[in-house]
């Protein structure tokens, strides 16, 4: 799309939210606030998926909370294998959604042939073939607030609560583990860190996190001056945080005409379009001035959603993997977080994988993740290499 075509007259400095989903299943019920976090609001069975042969696919809508404690209606897609045994293990897998539009929900992308999900499907099928159920939450919430990491952790935990409360899933007594990579790793790591205070009743056997952007502040500062091939994701995170914290992150006030136009173009986009719109650009292309980096209210929000800076600790075994040469994320923030967790006594096993870039590290680390998660549900002692 030519940039000139993006300069639409409707560009505005006000927060830009995604188009409402036309499917009534996603609408929040009028009595939403009367429900507790994790309460099931609605459930429906979906058509069979070629990606998961023989499995039953259900969508579940449930009550969760936004970053301010207000009630929201969130969704998860739960895949139950053929011949499922009651109380067989449950994996909550947080996919790297990295999107801003309601058309980018996990269920929609599963049925529309999303390449990223198709790449993940063989790994998930290993668990399904072992009789596990797999939950795939829409951890960005109903407003697709990319970057709102605390929100993602809460939605993940409430999705597990909802699965446990739905009798037809037969997972009430199931051992539970969590996993996620990149943006999905953000939601997974925050779920692990928040669980002791947000969902202390949940018995989670462990969580595996890979390629996690542990510090959004250092990520933003790393691309402050130079263009980057994945800058679209940085822009999308700023849009997502503006949606979740409109009183503190007033992004539109600092954007120039090009920035407002690109924000409008991204507002309902999924990952690949976001990357294409922002490829090889940088902050200077979109802002009228760079004083937004000195804006204390916005910086506080970014810090609040950076796991490296969160004092809470997981109380479950953790497995963390990444490439030490990953060009997309600040690896120093991962090392700092790992060190702090180790010093505090977290049962942490880390693995550095040899990968030239961000996404290949996910697949290279997958075999070890499969073994580690399986060992957790078998009740084996968690290894640590702190």
User: Which residue in 181, 194, 184 sits closest to 140, CA to CA?
Assistant: 184
* 7 pLDDT higher than 90: no
Q: Percent of the chain, pLDDT > 90?
A: 81
* 161 pLDDT higher than 80: yes
* Residue 119 confidence (pLDDT): 82
* Residue 8 confidence (pLDDT): 35
Burial (Cβ within 10 Å: 0-12, 13-18, ≥19) of residue 297? exposed
* Residue 6 confidence (pLDDT): 33
Beta strands 133-137 and 90-94: pairing type? parallel
**For residue 196, what are the contacts with CB-CB under 8 A and spacing of at least 6?**
312, 313, 314, 315
- Cβ atoms within 10 Å of 374's Cβ, excluding its own: 16
* Residue 356 confidence (pLDDT): 86
* 1 pLDDT higher than 60: no
* Residue 12 confidence (pLDDT): 58
Question: pLDDT higher for 377 or 226?
Answer: 377
* Residue 4 confidence (pLDDT): 32
Task: Give 3's pLDDT tier (boundaries 50, 70, 90).
Answer: very low
Question: Mean pLDDT of all residues in the chain?
Answer: 92
Question: pLDDT higher for 282 or 203?
Answer: 203
* Residue 292 confidence (pLDDT): 65
Task: Give 288's pLDDT tier (boundaries 50, 70, 90).
Answer: confident
Over range 162-186, report the average pLDDT.
Answer: 97
Q: Is the pTM of the predicted complex or chain greater than 0.75?
A: yes
* Residue 228 confidence (pLDDT): 86
- What pLDDT digit, counting tens, does each position of 250-263 carry? 898 889 999 999 99
Crossing angle of helices 257-266 and 231-244, in 10° steps, is 80
* Residue 10 confidence (pLDDT): 42
- What pLDDT digit, counting tens, does each position of 59-103 carry? 999 999 999 999 999 999 999 999 999 999 999 999 999 999 999
Tokens of 170: 């037969």
* Residue 206 confidence (pLDDT): 98
* Residue 293 confidence (pLDDT): 65
Over range 214-225, report the average pLDDT.
Answer: 84
* Residue 117 confidence (pLDDT): 81
Give the domain ranges of the chain: 3-17+216-304, 24-215+312-377
- The CATH architecture to which 24-215+312-377 belongs is 3-Layer(aba) Sandwich (3.40)
Which CATH number is 3-17+216-304 given?
1.10.260
């Amino acid at each position: 799309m030519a940039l000139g075509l993006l300069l639409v007259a409707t560009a505005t400095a006000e927060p830009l939210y995604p188009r409402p989903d036309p499917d009534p299943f996603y609408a929040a019920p009028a009595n939403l606030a009367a429900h507790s976090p994790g309460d099931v609001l609605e459930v429906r069975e979906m058509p069979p998926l070629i990606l998961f042969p023989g499995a039953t696919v259900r969508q579940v809508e449930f009550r969760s909370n936004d970053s301010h404690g207000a009630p929201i209606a969130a969704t998860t897609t739960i895949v139950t294998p053929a011949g499922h045994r009651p109380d067989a293990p449950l994996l909550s897998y947080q996919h790297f959604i990295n999107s801003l539009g309601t058309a980018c929900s996990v269920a929609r992308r599963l049925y529309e042939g999303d390449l990223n999900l198709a790449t993940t499907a063989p790994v998930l099928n290993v668990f399904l073939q072992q009789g596990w159920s797999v939950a795939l939450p829409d951890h960005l919430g109903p407003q697709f607030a990319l970057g709102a990491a605390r929100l993602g952790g809460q939605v993940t935990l409430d999705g597990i609560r909802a699965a446990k409360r739905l009798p037809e899933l037969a997972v009430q007594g199931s051992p539970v583990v969590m996993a996620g990579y990149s943006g999905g790793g953000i939601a997974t790591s925050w779920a692990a860190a928040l669980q002791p205070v947000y969902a202390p009743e949940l018995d989670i056997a462990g969580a595996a996190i890979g390629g996690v952007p542990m510090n959004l502040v250092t990520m933003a500062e790393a691309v402050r001056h130079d263009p980057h091939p994945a800058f679209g994701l940085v822009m999308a995170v700023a849009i997502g945080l503006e949606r979740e914290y409109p009183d503190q992150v007033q992004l539109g006030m600092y954007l120039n005409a090009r920035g407002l136009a690109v924000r409008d173009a991204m507002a309902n986009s999924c990952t690949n379009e976001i990357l294409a719109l922002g490829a090889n650009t940088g902050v200077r292309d979109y802002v009228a001035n760079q004083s937004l980096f000195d804006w204390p209210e916005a910086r506080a929000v970014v810090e609040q959603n950076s796991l490296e800076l969160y004092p809470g600790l997981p109380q479950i075994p953790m497995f963390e993997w990444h490439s030490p040469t990953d060009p997309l994320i600040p690896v120093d923030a991962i090392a700092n977080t790992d060190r702090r967790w180790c010093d505090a006594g977290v049962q942490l096993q880390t693995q550095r994988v040899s990968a030239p870039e961000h996404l290949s590290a996910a697949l290279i680390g997958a075999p070890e993740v499969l073994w580690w998660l399986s060992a957790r549900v078998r009740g084996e002692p968690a290894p640590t290499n702190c």
